[in-house]
Amino acid sequence: MAASIRPGDWLMVAGLLVLAWFEIWVEPIFQTGMPGPRLPLTLFATVALVPLLVRRTFPLMALTVMCLGMVAVGLVGDPDQSTFVLLLGLLVATFSLSAHARPRGALIGAAVVVAATIVFELLTFGQKSLVDVVVPALFLAGAWIAGKEVHRQRRWAGEEAEHARLLARTHQLEMHAAVAAERTRIARELHDVVAHAISVMGIQAGAARRTLPPGQTEQHDALLDVERLGREALEEMHRMLGVLRTPEDEPLVSPLPDFAQLPALAADARRTGVGVGLEVAEGLDRLPQGLQLTAYRIVQEALTNVRKHAQAHSVQVGITRSGQDLEVIVADDGIGVAGEPAPGNGLIGMRERVAIHHGTLYAGPGDGQGFLVRALLPVQGGE
């Protein structure tokens, strides 16, 4: 609770207390002041003003105690009390009640203010006119309305913050789901790549075993072990793929793409009205199939993004060897982006595929204009 009391609260309460005590012990400041027995008036004025320190944390309690203190001042003081100082404090308490209390507490507090004000006015009407009664009532009503507006603005700001938090959480979940879906897709494709390689190894081991001359028992048994381990590995991979598949997934029946399918991919993009230039360095068709598949998917996703978002007239695709890395570049002359692009599913897929090969990916503004995708994929063993 102490943390909720601000330095300004102490200063305000101290100022009101000094004014009230000055009117009680020295001379009136506002109209008739607070005439009457000084010690009781000092005590009840203090009781009425000190609760303002906790008006934010306990708005209803602070207002109720203040109203009781104000009524007590009216009871023990002379009938011609003006108590303008207490009215100032009551305005602050009314505003805080309306701004910080729950709806039910605010209504109870409003009833307390009305009842206490009526009782106090009956006790101190004395030389007052109707204007002396109406004006404070209007000020209290204004404080109530202002507090309600602050309460509404605070609630609206809280709802906006919660809405933004939910949007961010939803976006995060969608990103995680997209990453998981892309990783599953990559795993299924890599399964086919590895399964094909293992099958070829088993076939070659079987062919080599059948060509062995009689008497080479150790070599014969070793090749039999290779065939057996290959079959077991394939069975394990098929079981793993069954875990990764969902009922909606369709089995892969067509061969996985490699560099030989890049011209067809570029032709499909040209039919959408985008000029596509394709340059693939010679000798890259001997690279591992998994590496060719990754490069193909990067080009495919980049061309899809060009058609959807770039508003480009032309795009240049280049695949070359750069030292021990395979370099894939897709650059268009479209509108480009300012700063970091939004991580859509296409970019997520590129990053996941590049990460498998421990490569690097840049996707952002190109040189001068357009959008640039540049991936460097290490070539293991130089081939």
End-to-end CA distance of the chain: 70
Residue 255: per-residue pLDDT: 67
3-class state of residue 211 by DSSP: coil
Nearest in space to 147 (alpha carbons), one of 218, 97, 198, 85: 97
Q: 50 — phi, psi (to 5°)?
A: -60, -35
Question: For residue 65, what are the CA distances in angstroms to 52, 190, 282?
Answer: 10, 75, 90
**Predicted structure pTM score:** 0.54
* Residue type at 349 in one-letter notation: G
Distance CA 176, CA 178 (A): 5
Can you tell me the mean pLDDT for 190-218? 76
Domain ranges of the chain: 2-128, 181-244, 259-382
Amino acid identity of residue 350, one-letter, is M
Chain segment 315-331, per-residue pLDDT in tens: 999 999 888 899 999 99
Q: Distance (Å, rounded) from C-alpha 98 to C-alpha 67?
A: 15
Q: Does domain 259-382 have CATH number 3.30.565.10?
A: yes
User: Mean pLDDT across the stretch 156-176?
Assistant: 88
Tens of pLDDT along 84-142? 899 899 999 999 999 998 889 888 998 999 899 888 888 876 666 677 678 888 888 89
More confident: 138 or 231: 138
